[in-house]
Amino acid sequence: MNNIIVNELSKNLRALGRNAMSTNKQLCMLAMLVYGIAAMLPPVIITILFKGTLGANMASIYSLLISGPFTLGISILFLSVFRRQKSELAQVFYGFENFGKSLGLFLFMTLFIILWTMLFVIPGIVAGIRYSQAFYVLADHPEYGIRDCMNESKRMMFGNKGRYFVMMLSFIGWIILCSIPMGIVENYIVANPDSAGLQLLALVAYLPYIWLTPYMTLTAVGFYEIMTGNLRVAPSIVDVPPQKLPDASTAALDSDPAPAQEKPEQPAEVQRPPDEEGITEE
């Protein structure tokens, strides 16, 4: 099967993400807020109830168990939003209906990326990009196995890894800006790991990501849709505000009359005077 190579510029791909997000921005941001609470609040409670190493280990196990199902659920939701299909907040939890396969896919992807990273950092980055489409494949094809999803992602990304890397790198400014609050809180958490107040403050510092993560994810979904052939993009994409179309009568009044076309001048006919008395010059 031939691959579809994505040739769109990063700004056009980001425009796809912005346009998709504008159709259901509240749902996208609410979904990321729910995910943030579900991912960050229980570990805080666990570390409060179980002090020391036991609490930290239990919190890590919880985070590991929910990562795969939530990744699948978010993929299902944002694919639905991008395709203008009926979307609802409950889709964030749809990954738990396929808990075993989503968890297995997450573990296998993590294992492969770690193994490649042990060789060098760059192979690890390449591996992460190579398998970046696996959860979208699983969302579209629940019947696929774990290795099938990874192999399909590997096939699709052949020839597209560089463009995908540049696209995600174009968000670096927003990532740095949104990471500032979290970085400040994390420094205090490292100094006071048992502080429940700082753990809860980390949830507040996560708030900038409830806008950035949908933006980045929907842009990645647009990239996936182009590779699957579900979307054909025009040569250039710009954000244009909607404009009201004028009525037929108003358009007729507002339109300027077409200028009258001037007829080209005909050359004047030159008449020769008749020869006098029929005499001609010899």
pLDDT by residue (tens digit) across 205-251? 888 999 999 999 999 999 999 999 998 865 444 344 444 544 544 44
Instruction: State the Cα–Cα distance between residues 193 and 112, nearest whole angstrom.
Output: 31
Predicted confidence at residue 244, as pLDDT, reads 52
Show the tokens assigned to 246: 């004028």
pLDDT higher than threshold 70 for residue 114: yes
Predicted confidence at residue 261, as pLDDT, reads 52
Q: How far is CA 19 from the centre of its chain?
A: 10
* CA distances (Å), origin 117, targets 120, 121, 128, 217, 265: 5, 5, 10, 24, 82
- For residues 207 and 180, the answer to whether their CB atoms sit within 8 Å is no
Whether 266 is covered by a domain: the verdict is no
Whether 99 is covered by a domain: the verdict is yes
Exposure string of 96-117, with b = 16+ CB inside 10 Å and e = fewer, is eebeebbbbbbebbeebbeebb
Q: Which residue has the tokens 């036991």?
A: 54
Show the tokens assigned to 140: 């579209």
Ordered DSSP codes for 98-130 = GHHHHHHHHHHHHHHHHHHHHH-HHHHHHHHHH
Q: Which residue has the higher pLDDT, 191 or 139?
A: 139
Whether 35 is covered by a domain: the verdict is yes
**3-class DSSP state for residue 192?**
coil
Residues 152-186 have pLDDT tens digits of 999 999 999 999 999 999 999 999 999 998 888 77
Q: Which band of pLDDT confidence, cut at 50, 70 and 90, is reported for residue 187?
A: confident
113: amino acid identity, one letter: I
Q: Which band of pLDDT confidence, cut at 50, 70 and 90, is reported for residue 51?
A: confident
**3-class DSSP state for residue 212?**
helix
Instruction: State the Cα–Cα distance between residues 234 and 113, nearest whole angstrom.
Output: 34
Task: Find the length of the chain.
Answer: 282
The whole-model pTM stands at: 0.79
Average pLDDT, the chain: 84
Instruction: State the Cα–Cα distance between residues 134 and 137, nearest whole angstrom.
Output: 5
- For residues 136 and 156, the answer to whether their CB atoms sit within 8 Å is no
Whether 211 is covered by a domain: the verdict is yes
Whether 254 is covered by a domain: the verdict is no
**3-class DSSP state for residue 34?**
helix
Instruction: State the Cα–Cα distance between residues 136 and 80, nearest whole angstrom.
Output: 11
Residue 86's domain comprises: 12-228
Calculate the CA dihedral of residues 77, 82, 86, 87 and round it to 10 degrees.
30
Predicted confidence at residue 215, as pLDDT, reads 97
**Mean of pLDDT values over 181-209:** 73
Whether 281 is covered by a domain: the verdict is no
Instruction: State the Cα–Cα distance between residues 30 and 14, nearest whole angstrom.
Output: 21
Whether 133 is covered by a domain: the verdict is yes
Give the chain's domain count.
1
Whether 26 is covered by a domain: the verdict is yes
Range ranked top by mean pLDDT from 39-48, 158-167, 231-240, 264-273: 158-167
